[in-house]
Amino acid sequence: MKSFWVHPFFLVFLAAIASVSVTVQAFTGTYGINYGRIANNILSPDEVVTLLKAAKIKNVRIYDFDHNVINAFSGTGLELVVGLPNENLRDMSANADHAMNWVKDNVQAYLPDTQIRGIAIGNEVLGGSDEFSGFLLDAVKNVYNALDKLKLSHAVQVTTAHSQAVFADSFPPSSCVFKDNVVQYMKPLLEFFSQIGSPFCLNAYPFLAYMYNKDEIDINYALFLPTEGADDPKTKLHYDNLLDAQIDAAYAALEKAGFGKMEVIITETGWASHGDENEAAATASNARTYNYNLRKRLAKMKGTPFRPKNVVKAYVFAIFNENLKPGASSEKNFGLFKPDGSISYDIGFHGYKSSSADSSLLSLKEIRAAGRFISYSILLTIATALVLLF
């Protein structure tokens, strides 16, 4: 067998090429949006994709696994978190084969064309009626194990989102703990998430906190406007906005539970633009102020007073006003956009325009992909030249 000599520099060079890889994350950047569809008058999924690409919103969460939606996101460069609704938890927790089939049918079948980056197992399961609490952990484990067996666990993150109903004594932030009736479910769930590297997902609404505590909370503090803020007497930390305080309350509860290194991600936050007579804070002006200032806050890519190195990431709620949502009028009016795709108020996004103009625009994903291709081409050309040289 003929042997040949390879220059040591070339071996080092090839090792460098081999080490180049793309790290898959469930959240790119700091800003995302929830795509709720409890409405009968909103844009089609294909039109929503056009709207989101024009707005350059890359991270998207849905609350189910609707195939029409998943297909619409195929080849778009947008990154999707699909949801397993609460009513599916019982079956998913009881049967590992069921979980495997669900993952195959609703996640694996659409990869890699649709960039499914996460699965949200239930929504706000704990802290309420306990109807589904006992099923959550096993559902999470079965879905994760199915992903792992399919060699997808490195690419698709498993999480579940919590409301603030899981906390007790959330102000000042350092006093926050998990409620006694939640701990029995929360502790083993956090242990598993710690093992697989999943974050703690929190739905945090300064709007709701203000509505329930108008006499105690300055609305400017809730809207990211200039204010005296609030001080935590234990940590001596100062807070100039309510969302940061809500996030740090979660970090405090996690630390006391033994999970101080776990990241907190905001999976829902927003402000209603219209409400009932007793919801005076639900105005278009306040909603614009909150969401505009939230974008500015996230764009700074900084942490909170208690966790300054953990960059805050948030999904705003939501794309649309949803006319079929039950409850108070405010519940129907969290959308940044009206059902026809026009803006609810101006925070820098453009409304939907029915045209093919967006097809000529390269998404950030496509530009980066092109850049990587060019970089690899250059590297391989240099490597070939080195082989000939040495």
Structure confidence by residue, pLDDT tens digits, 309-328? 999 999 999 999 999 999 99
Could you read off the pLDDT of 284-308 as tens digits, one per residue? Answer: 999 999 999 999 999 999 999 999 9
- pLDDT given at position 282: 98
Q: What is the pLDDT of residue 23?
A: 34
Confidence at residue 354, expressed as pLDDT on a 0 to 100 scale: 57
Examine the pLDDT at 79 and tell me if it is beyond 80.
yes
227/240 Cα distance (integer angstroms): 7
Q: Please write the tens of the pLDDT for every residue from 101-146.
A: 999 999 999 999 999 999 999 999 999 888 999 999 999 999 999 9
Is residue 366 in some structural domain? Answer: no
Task: Report the alpha-carbon distance of residue 1 to residue 183 in Å, rounded.
Answer: 67
Active-site residue numbers? Answer: 124, 268
The number of residues in the chain equals 390
Beta bridge partners of 238: 231
What is the rounded average pLDDT of the residues 51-68?
A: 97
What pLDDT, on the 0 to 100 scale, is given for residue 381?
43
Task: State which amino acid sits at residue 265.
Answer: I
Task: Tell whether 196 is covered by a domain.
Answer: yes
What are 214-243's pLDDT values in tens digits?
Answer: 999 999 999 999 999 999 999 999 999 999
Mean pLDDT for 365-378 is 41
Collapsing DSSP to helix, strand or coil, 382 comes out as helix
Q: Is residue 252 part of a domain?
A: yes
Residue that is written with structure tokens 């809207």 in the block: 223
- Integer Rg of the chain from CA: 23
Residue 266 lies in a domain: yes
Q: How far apart are CA 29 and CA 315, in angstroms?
A: 11
For residues 237-254, average pLDDT: 98
SS3 at position 315? strand
Q: Do 84 and 143 meet the contact criterion of CB atoms below 8 Å apart? A: yes
Cβ contacts of residue 260 below 8 Å, gap of 6+? 251, 254
For the domain that residue 87 is a member of, what is the CATH number? 3.20.20.80
**What residue numbers bound the domain in which 213 lies?**
31-337
Task: Report the share of the chain in percent with pLDDT over 90.
Answer: 81
Please indicate, yes or no, if residue 272 is contained in any of the structural domains: yes
Residue 170 confidence (pLDDT):
86
Residue 98 lies in a domain: yes
Q: How many C-beta atoms surround the C-beta of residue 177 within 10 A?
A: 18
Q: Is the peptide bond before 172 cis (omega within 30 degrees of 0)?
A: yes
Q: Is residue 46 part of a domain?
A: yes
pLDDT tens digit sequence for 146-190:
999 999 999 999 999 999 999 998 899 999 999 999 999 999 999
- Considering the entire predicted model, what is its pTM? 0.85
User: DSSP assignment, residue 359?
Assistant: G
Give the H/E segment covering residue 316. strand 314-316
62 φ/ψ angles, rounded to the nearest 5 degrees: -120, 165
C-alpha 186/C-alpha 170 separation (Å) is 17
The tokens describing 337, both together, are 């956009």
Backbone angles phi, psi at 177, to 5 degrees: -140, 165
**Rounded distance between C-alpha atoms, residue 158 and residue 249, angstroms:** 23
Cα 125 to Cα 33: distance, rounded to the nearest angstrom: 21
- Model confidence over 189-220: pLDDT tens digits? 999 999 999 999 999 999 999 999 999 999 99
Alpha-carbon distance of 33 to 58, in angstroms, equals 8
The pLDDT, as a whole number, for residue 15 is 40
388 occurs within a structural domain: no
| Structural domains in the chain (count) | 1
Q: What secondary structure does DSSP assign to 77-115, as a single string?
A: --EEEEEE-GGGHHHHHH-HHHHHHHHHHHTGGGTTTSE
Q: For residues 282, 288, 294 and 297, what is the CA-based torsion angle, rounded to 10 degrees? A: -140
- Tell me how far apart the 2 most distant CA atoms of the chain are, in Å: 87
Q: What's the pLDDT band for 14 if we cut at 50, 70, 90?
A: very low
Neighbouring CB atoms inside 10 A of 317's CB total 24
